[in-house]
Chain A
Amino acid sequence: MSEKLLVEALNDAFHVELERDPNVMVMGEDVGRAGGVFRATAGLRDRFGPDRCVDTPLAEAGILGTAVGLCMAGWRPVCEMQYDAFSYPCLDQLITHVGRYRWRTGGAMEFPVTIRMPYGGGVRAPELHDDSPEAYYVHTPGVKVAIPSTPADAKGLLAAAIREPDPVVIFEPKLHYRTMRGEVPDGEHVVPLGKARVAREGTDVTLVAYGAMVPLAEQAAEALEDETSVEILDIRTLKPLDEDALLASAAKTGRVVIVQEAPRTAGFGAELAAILAEKAILDLRGPVLRVTGYDVPYPYWQIEDAYMPSVERVVAAVRKLLEF
C-alpha cells in the first residue's frame, strides 16, 4: 500500500497495465509529451515509447474511430477524452460502432477499448469543462460504465476496464484528482466491474451515490450523525449495475435518497429509482428521493455551488424522508 492522490492512482494503474500487457496502448490529446492535462498519463511516453502513448490530433470521433480499427489489429486502446463535454463527438463512434461491432460480428471479434475522461464540476472552470454525461454512455447498448470515488477504486476500476473484453467507459471525478488522497494497493490491483461498495454502514436511510457525490454523501452522513444512522452505497459500476447490493441496502434501511450531480431528467438516478420501484416496493417506508443537478446547462462558475448537490440539500432530503 502507498498513499496516493486519485490522479496518481490512475497513473499507477497505467504503468502497471502497460507493463503487464504489451497490447495495451494509450491515445488522446496531450497524453504523451505533456502526460495529459491532468498528468494521468505522465511518464508513459518515456517508458513505453510514442507508439504506446500516442499524442493524437484533436479529434474525439477520430480517436475512438481509429481505436475500433486498432482493436481489429489486436490492440487494447485506452482513449482519453480530455474533458467530459469534449467527449460528445465520440458518441457518434460509440453509439454506431463501439457498442455494436462485437454483436455485428456474431461475437467473433472483441473490441476491448477503454474510454476515460475527467468529469464533473466544482472546479471553477469555463463552460463545458464541468459536465456529468454518464447517462448518455450508460444508455448505449454494448458499453459498460464505471465511476470511481476513491484513489484505490480509480486504480482498480481502470485496470478492470483495460482487461475487460468489452468496451468500458470510466468517468473520473476531476474535482478529487488532487484533493483526495488514499491508500492504494501496490502492483496489480483490480476492482471487478459490477460490484458496488458499502462506503458507510448504517441502518435508517441509504444514500446511493457514485463518483464525486460519494464524499458529499459522507459529509451529509456526518452532519446527520446525531439524528439518524446513514448507510452509503457507492455504486462504482453503473453498468452492469450491482442490483443485489442496491436492493439489500434498501431492504436494510427502507429509505433511499439518490445523489446525482448530472441534470435530473432521465439521469442515472431515475434508473436506480425505477429499479427500487419495481423490486423493492415492499421494503420501502417512503418514496425514493433524488438530489440532483438541475435541468439546465452547467452554470457559470460563480453560481455553480448552487447547482451542485450540497450537504444541505442532501440533509434536507433525508429529513423529509424520515418524516414521511
Chain B
Amino acid sequence: MGEPGVPPRTLRRVIGDGEALPDGEVEGLDERDLIELYRGMVLLRTYDERSLVYHRQGRIGTYAIFWNHEAMQVGAVYALERDDWIFPSYRESAIGLLRGMPASTVLSWWRGHPAGWWNPVDYNVASICVPIGTHVPHATGLAWGRKLRGEHTCAIAFFGDGATSEGSFHEGANFAGVMRAPVILFCNNNGWAISTPVSAQTAAETLADKAVGYGMPGLRVDGGDVLAVYDATREAVERARAGEGPTFIEAVTYRAAPHATADDPSAYIDPERVEEEKRNECLGRYERYLLRAGVLTEQLAEEIRGEAFETMRKGIADAEAEPAADLGLLFENTYANSPSSFDEELAELREILRS
C-alpha cells in the first residue's frame, strides 16, 4: 500500500462491530487523541443537526447537510499539522471549526452575510468552494507553491464522488502528479451526486482507480471509520512531507441525508439502505468503540455534547447579532484598486435609496 499501482479493493477499517469484527487500533494515537477525535466529531455533528433546525426556523438559508460525513472530515484533518492547508467544498462548510473558527462565521456564510467571509490565512482553510471540483487545482497549486519555497507543508482538498467527473478535478490531479505536489486528494464517495448514483458517474470499478492514471497511490478507506480515515490520511501526509508527492484517498460511505435542505431524496434513494446507514452512522460507531475500549464514559460524552451545543447556541446568537451589512460592501474588496466608477455608483445608489 502507498505505492502507485492498482489500488486495493477492500476498505481499510479499524473500528469493529462489537461482535464478529474485532476492534483494531492506530499506532501513535493515545487516549487524549481518541477523545479529541470524538470531540471534533461531536462538534461537527452538532453543527450539522443544529443547522438543519436553524434552516427550518428560517434563521439560515439553504444548507448543505453533511450528517454522517464527520468521520471523514475529522479523521483527515486530525492527520494534518496546523500549517497544512484545507480546501473544503460546501459539504465541508464547517471544517474550519476544527481549526478554531467561530461557528458564527460559518453560520453567517449560510445566512448570506459578509461576516461569513473569512481570511483563509487565519486558519489555513481556503474559502468554501461551490462549483464542484474547481478547488482541486487550487490545493495542488498551493502545495506546489509551498514546495517550491522549500517548505514542508501540504494541502488537502475535499470533494465528492461527482467531482471526479469534472475536468478541473482531472487537471488538478494531473498537475499534482506531474509537479509531485504534496497534496492529498480526499474523495468522500457517499454514493450520490444529488440524485445521480456513483454508477452513473463513472465506469471505473473504484474511484481510487483513477489515481493510477495520475501516477499516485490510491487508498480506499471506510468513510464511516474515523480511525481508518486518520490512518490513511496520515500515511498520505507522510508521503507528502517526504517529497513523494500526492495521494488519492477514496473514503466510502453512504449519504443518509438529503443533498441539501432543498432536496427531497425520496424520489431516487433506497430508503432501506438509508435506514441501515443511519443505524451504522459514524459517530455512534466511534462512540461505541470508545465505550468498549473504556476510553469514553457516558459522563464525558455528555460533557462534550454540552460543549458543542453551547458552541452552537453562542454561534447562532453571534451570527444573528451581526449588524446588517452596509450596502457600501457591494463595492468593496472586488479590487485592491477599485475603479472610480464604483464611488459614483455607490453615491447614486445611496441617493436613490434615501429619497
Contacts and interface: CB of A to CB of B under 8 A. Distances in A.
Interface of A: 51, 56-57, 59, 61-62, 64-75, 89, 92-93, 96-97, 99-110, 141-142, 144, 164-166, 194, 239-240, 243
Given A102-B333, A107-B333, A61 B339 contact: no
Interface string B103-139: 0000000000010011111000011001100111111
B178 A69 contact: no
Contacts of B339: 194, 239-240
B145 A69 contact: yes
B127 A65 contact: no
Interface of B: 85, 114, 117-121, 126-127, 130-131, 134-146, 148-149, 155, 167-168, 171-172, 174-175, 178-179, 332-337, 339-341
B351 to A, nearest CB: 17
A66 B178 CA distance: 12
A204 to B, nearest CB: 29
B137 A65 contact: yes
A74 B149 contact: yes
| CB-CB nearest 7 A-B residue pairs | A69-B141, A65-B137, A73-B145, A62-B171, A66-B141, A108-B119, A107-B333
B8 to A, nearest CB: 28
Among B121, B130, B140, B335, the one with the most A-chain Cβ atoms within 10 Å of its Cβ is: B335
Contacts of A100: 334
Contacts of A107: 332-333, 336
A65 B118 contact: no
Contacts of B138: 65-66, 68-69, 72, 97
B215 to A, nearest CB: 12
Given A62-B171, A108-B120, A93 B149 contact: no
A65 B173 CA distance: 11
Contacts of B145: 69-70, 72-75
Contact of B141 (A73, A96, A99, A110): A73
Given A66-B138, A73-B146, A75-B145, A141 B334 contact: yes
29 contacts: A57-B175, A59-B175, A65-B134, A65-B138, A66-B138, A66-B141, A66-B175, A72-B138, A72-B145, A75-B145, A75-B148, A92-B168, A93-B134, A96-B131, A97-B134, A97-B135, A97-B138, A101-B127, A102-B336, A104-B127, A105-B117, A105-B127, A106-B118, A108-B118, A108-B119, A110-B336, A144-B335, A166-B336, A194-B339
B196 to A, nearest CB: 20
B168 A65 contact: yes
Contacts of A62: 137, 168, 171-172, 174-175
A72 B168 contact: no
A108 B168 contact: no
B168 A57 contact: no
